[in-house]
Amino acid sequence: MSKMLSTASDVVGVAQVIAEEGDRSVTIHLINHSNSHILVHPSDPPQPTVQSGETVKCSFNKTAGAARGAVGVMTYDITNSSNEVFQRLAIMFSVPYDYNLYENYFA
Give me the residue spans of the domains in the chain.
2-106
For residue 76, the cross-strand partners are 89
Average pLDDT over residues 21-31: 70
Cβ–Cβ under 8 Å, residues 76 and 56: no
> Is 107 or 6 the better-scoring residue by pLDDT?
107
Q: pLDDT (tens digit, 9 = 90+) per residue, 50-103?
A: 888 888 877 777 777 777 887 888 888 888 878 888 888 888 888 777 778 877
CATH number of 2-106: 2.60.40
Radius of gyration, CA atoms only, the chain: 15
Selected residue with higher pLDDT from 10 and 55 = 55
What local confidence, expressed as pLDDT, does residue 58 receive? 78
